[in-house]
Amino acid sequence: MAITTLTLFLFYYPLIMGITWVIGGILYYIRREKHDTLPYIDDANLPFISILIPAYNEQDTIEETIRHTSKLAYPNFEIIVINDGSRDKTIDILRDILQDYPRLRVINVMQNKGKANALQQGVLASKGELIATIDSDAILDNYALHHMVPHFINPGTSERVGAVTGNPRIRNRTSLLAKIQLVEYTSIIGLIKRTQRILGKVMTVSGVFVVFRKKALLDIGMWDNDLITDDIGITWKLQRRFWDVRYEPKAFCWMLVPETLRGIWKQRLRWTQGGIEVILRHKDIFFDWRQRRLFPIYLEQLFSIVWALLWLAFAILALIQYITLDHYIQPLTWMGLYLALICLLQFAVALFIERKYERYIFKYILWAIWYPLFYWHINALLVIFALPKAIKILFKSKKEYATWDSPDRGMHL
C-alpha cells in the first residue's frame, strides 16, 4: 500500500505541476505580456539607479560587463563594482579602466566574505533609490531598466513593490550542455516565474539581474551573509515582510552558463543547497496565517525535494530488479515516458511564448529531449549531496559568511 502511494506521488506530482506551469504561463502571456510594448516614461521622471556588480576572480569578464553596462539607454545611473577579495587580476583591471568610465566606482573588499556581504557594501555606498544587481558576466539589454522601472513608479500599484527580477538569456549556445540550459531557462524557469506571478508569490528572483527598492532592502536588513544563495534568501525575506516581488520577461539579461559537467554540478549543488537552506530557515511560516500566500511556494519546494529523493530510490531499486530478475522495470518505464511527454509539452509552450522575443528560438526544442534523461537524475543526486550541507544552517551562526567560488563561465573563455 505504501509503495503504491509513493508511486502515485512520484507520477502525479510532476504531472500536475507541469500542467500547472503550462496553464499559468499561458495565462500570464495573455493577460500581461502578449500586447505589451516598451512603456513611455519621460526621462526627466526616471529615478536614479545604482547598478551593483559583485566580483570574485572575474578577470575574464568584468571589463566586458562594465563596457556594455555603461552604454545602457537609461539616463540616470551609476556602476559600483565590489571586488570581493579576488585572487586574480580583477582589481588590477578595475584600477586600469576606472578613468575610462565616469559612472564607475570601485569598492575593494580585502577578504572574500561572499556575494551577500559584497552586495551589502555596495548598497551602503550607493546613491540610488533603486538598486540593480547584475553578475559580472552579464550583459543587459539596452532598454532592460526601462522595462523594470515602471513597476516601481506607476501610481497606485507600486508602493509595495520591493523587487523585480529580469529574464536571463543564454549567451553561449554552441555546446550540448549550453543548449539544454537555454531550453531550461526559457521553459522551466520562465514558465514557473510566470505562473508564480499569477499566484502572487515568487520562489526566487534571478540573481543574475534584479532591481530592488533600497527602502525595502533596508527594511529587511538586506541579505543574509550565511546563506549560500543570496537571491533565494532575499526573495523570502522581502515577501515575509509583505513586499511584492515581480517578474519582468521583457527585461533581458544575457549571461554565460557552465559547459562542463563539473561546472554544472557545482552550480546546481549551490542552488539546491540554497533552496533547502531557505525552507529550513522559514519553516515557521505555517504558524503565521498572514504568510498563507507563501504556503504553496514552500510546499512546492518541499515536495520537489521529496520527489527527487523518491525518484533516485526507485531508480536504484528498479536497476537492482532489472539486474536480478532480468525484466522490464515497472512502474518507472511508463511513468518516465508520460512525464517526459509533459516535460516536452512544457518546453513547446514556453518556446512558443519566447518567439515574441527571439524569432528562431523554437528550433532549440530539438535539444529539449535530453533534459528529462539528463537533469532528472542529476537533480536527484544533487538533493542527496546538498541535504547534509543545508542542514548545517540549523546550527550555524548567522554571523558566519557563506563565501563563493569562481563559477564556470563556459568553454569559450
pLDDT tens by residue, 205-219: 988 999 999 999 999
Domain boundaries, the chain: 1-413
Residue with cell 549550453: 178
With a cut of 90, say whether residue 387 has pLDDT above it: no
Question: In terms of Cα–Cα distance, which of 373, 355, 413 is closest to 88?
Answer: 413
pLDDT of residue 148: 93
Distances (CA, A) of 269 to 161, 204, 355: 30, 16, 31
**Do 342 and 15 meet the contact criterion of CB atoms below 8 Å apart?**
yes
pLDDT of residue 412: 56
**Do 222 and 123 meet the contact criterion of CB atoms below 8 Å apart?**
yes
With a cut of 80, say whether residue 401 has pLDDT above it: no
Q: For CA atoms 136, 138, 139, 143, give the dihedral sign.
A: negative
Instruction: Give the count of beta carbons closer than 10 Å to the beta carbon of residue 330.
Output: 11
d(CA 117, CA 346): 37
CATH for 1-413, among 3.10.20.580, 3.90.550.10, 3.40.50.300, 3.40.1010.10? 3.90.550.10
d(CA 166, CA 252): 6
Percent of the chain exceeding pLDDT 90 equals 44
Q: What is the mean pLDDT of the chain?
A: 86
User: What tens digit of pLDDT does each residue of 233-291 get?
Assistant: 999 999 999 999 999 999 999 999 888 888 888 888 898 999 999 999 999 999 999 99
pLDDT of residue 396: 66
d(CA 278, CA 282): 6
Percent of the chain exceeding pLDDT 70 equals 90
With a cut of 90, say whether residue 166 has pLDDT above it: yes
pLDDT of residue 76: 92
**Do 254 and 139 meet the contact criterion of CB atoms below 8 Å apart?**
yes
Q: What are phi and psi of 140, to 5 degrees?
A: -80, 145
Higher pLDDT, 46 or 49: 49
pLDDT of residue 14: 83
SS3 sequence, the chain? CHHHHHHHHHHHHHHHHHHHHHHHHHHHHHHHHCCCCCCCCCHHHCCCEEEEEEECCCCCCHHHHHHHHCCCCCCCEEEEEEEECCCCCHHHHHHHHHHHCCCEEEEEECCCCCHHHHHHHHHHHCCCCEEEEECCCCEECCCHHHHHCHHHHCCCCCCCEEEEEEEEEECCCCCHHHHHHHHHHHHHHHHHHHHHHHHCCCCCCCCCEEEEEHHHHHHHCCCCCCCCCHHHHHHHHHHHCCCEEEEEEEEEEEECCCCCHHHHHHHHHHHHHHHHHHHHHCHHHHHCHHHHHHHHHHHHHHHHHHHHHHHHHHHHHHHHHHHHHCCCCCCHHHHHHHHHHHHHHHHHHHHHHHCCCCCCHHHHHHHHHHHHHHHHHHHHHHHHHHHHHHHHHHCCCCCCCCCCCCCCCCCCC
Per-residue confidence band for 81, with pLDDT thresholds at 50, 70 and 90: very high
**Do 162 and 212 meet the contact criterion of CB atoms below 8 Å apart?**
yes
User: What tens digit of pLDDT does each residue of 305-320 get?
Assistant: 988 888 788 777 777 7
Per-residue confidence band for 185, with pLDDT thresholds at 50, 70 and 90: confident
Q: For CA atoms 97, 102, 107, 112, give the dihedral sign.
A: negative
pTM of the predicted model, to two decimals?
0.90
pLDDT of residue 367: 75
Per-residue confidence band for 52, with pLDDT thresholds at 50, 70 and 90: very high
Q: Which three cell numbers mark 290?
A: 498572514
**Do 84 and 56 meet the contact criterion of CB atoms below 8 Å apart?**
yes
User: What tens digit of pLDDT does each residue of 16-33 get?
Assistant: 888 899 999 999 998 888
**Do 131 and 50 meet the contact criterion of CB atoms below 8 Å apart?**
yes
Per-residue confidence band for 65, with pLDDT thresholds at 50, 70 and 90: very high
pLDDT of residue 397: 62
Query: Across residues 75-82, what is the average pLDDT?
Result: 95
Peptide bond into 249 cis (omega under 30): no
Name the pairing type of β-strands 77-84 and 139-140. Answer: unpaired
User: What tens digit of pLDDT does each residue of 327-383 get?
Assistant: 555 555 666 677 777 888 888 888 888 888 888 888 887 777 777 767 777 888 888
Per-residue confidence band for 1, with pLDDT thresholds at 50, 70 and 90: low
pLDDT of residue 63: 94
